[in-house]
C-alpha cells in the first residue's frame, strides 16, 4: 500500500491539500481530535504517517514510507539518502543569520573569528561559515534560538525565517541569507526505481498539479 510520511506543523495543511487534489484524502489528520499517527485515506488505497518534520526523511530512507513531504532546510541539514523529486512551492522560508539590532556586527564580514553562533541547524551554519573561511563556535540549541543573542550567549543566530515576526518581536535583524527553502516531495530511492505501488503515476500527478495552477483548465 502506498505510504506517505507527512510532517506535523507548518507544512501539514498544504501537504494534505495537495494530496487531496491528486485523489488522496488524509484530511482526518487536520482534525484536532485525531490522535492516530497512522491513517488510511478515504478510499483505503493509501496510508499516511504523521511524524515530526525531522523524522520524515528517516521513514522514507528506511522504506517505511514510499513518499514524504519535507522542507528543503531539513534535507540540507540531514542529507538523507532519499530521492529529491519535486519542489512543491509552498512553505517558503529562508535560512538567515540574524543579530541584535544594536549589535556592532551588522555584516557577516564584521564578525570576529571564534564568535559564537546559536542554531538548530548546526550543519547549515557550519557549512556557511566554512565557505567564508571564518572559524566560529556553533552552539547547538533545540528551541527559542533567539534567546542566544538576547542573553548574550551568542553574537548571532542561524535560523529559519518565514514572516520575520519572531525576529522583530525579539529585536533581531537579518544580516545575511544562506538559502531559501520550500516543501519538497521525496521518495525512497528503491521504491521509486522499482515503481512500488505505482508511486510513479502518483508522482506524475503531483508534478502535473504543481506545474499547472489550480485555476487553469486542462493540462
Give the nearer residue to a copy of itself in terms of CB position, either 116 or 207. 116
Residue 136 CA: distances (Å) to CA of 121, 125, 156, 170: 14, 9, 11, 23
Question: Using CB under 8 A as the criterion, which residues of the chain lie in contact with a copy of itself when the complex forms?
Answer: 8, 37-38, 49-52, 54-55, 58-59, 62, 64, 139-144, 146-147, 150-153
CA dihedral 166, 69, 37, 93 (to 10 degrees): 0
Give the nearer residue to a copy of itself in terms of CB position, either 41 or 146. 146
User: Minimum CB separation from a copy of itself for residue 7, in Å?
Assistant: 11
Give the nearer residue to a copy of itself in terms of CB position, either 51 or 156. 51
User: Minimum CB separation from a copy of itself for residue 141, in Å?
Assistant: 5
User: Minimum CB separation from a copy of itself for residue 118, in Å?
Assistant: 9
Closest CA to 158 of 197, 199, 126, 186: 126
User: Minimum CB separation from a copy of itself for residue 206, in Å?
Assistant: 22
Instruction: Record the cell numbers describing residue 11, joined without a space.
Output: 507544512
User: Minimum CB separation from a copy of itself for residue 90, in Å?
Assistant: 22
Sign of the alpha-carbon torsion through 12, 76, 163, 86: negative
Give the nearer residue to a copy of itself in terms of CB position, either 54 or 105. 54
Q: Measured between alpha carbons, how far is 67 from 6 in angstroms, rounded to an integer?
A: 9
Q: Measured between alpha carbons, how far is 181 from 71 in angstroms, rounded to an integer?
A: 6
Give the nearer residue to a copy of itself in terms of CB position, either 86 or 187. 187
Amino acid at each position: 500500500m502506498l505510504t506517505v510520511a507527512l510532517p506535523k506543523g507548518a507544512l501539514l495543511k498544504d501537504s494534505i491539500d495537495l494530496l487531496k487534489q491528486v485523489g488522496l484524502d488524509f484530511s482526518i489528520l487536520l482534525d484536532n481530535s485525531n490522535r492516530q499517527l497512522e491513517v488510511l485515506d478515504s478510499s483505503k488505497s493509501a496510508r499516511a504517517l504523521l511524524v515530526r518534520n525531522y523524522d520524515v526523511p528517516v521513514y522514507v530512507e528506511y522504506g517505511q514510507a514510499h513518499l514524504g513531504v519535507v522542507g528543503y532546510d531539513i534535507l540540507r541539514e540531514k542529507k538523507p539518502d532519499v530521492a529529491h523529486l519535486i519542489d512543491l512551492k509552498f512553505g517558503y522560508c529562508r535560512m538567515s543569520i540574524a543579530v541584535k539590532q544594536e549589535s556592532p556586527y551588522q555584516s557577516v564580514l564584521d564578525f570576529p573569528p571564534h564568535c559564537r553562533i546559536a542554531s538548530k541547524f548546526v550543519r547549515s551554519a557550519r557549512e556557511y561559515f566554512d565557505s567564508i573561511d571564518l572559524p566560529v563556535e556553533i552552539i547547538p540549541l533545540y528551541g527559542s534560538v533567539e534567546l542566544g543573542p538576547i542573553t548574550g550567549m551568542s553574537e548571532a543566530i542561524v535560523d529559519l525565517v518565514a514572516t520575520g515576526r519572531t525576529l522583530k518581536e525579539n529585536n533581531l535583524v537579518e544580516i545575511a541569507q544562506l538559502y531559501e527553502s520550500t516543501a519538497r516531495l521525496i521518495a525512497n530511492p528503491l521504491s521509486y526505481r522499482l515503481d512500488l505501488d505505482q508511486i510513479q503515476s502518483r508522482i506524475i500527478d503531483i508534478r502535473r498539479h504543481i506545474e499547472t495552477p489550480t485555476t487553469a483548465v486542462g493540462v
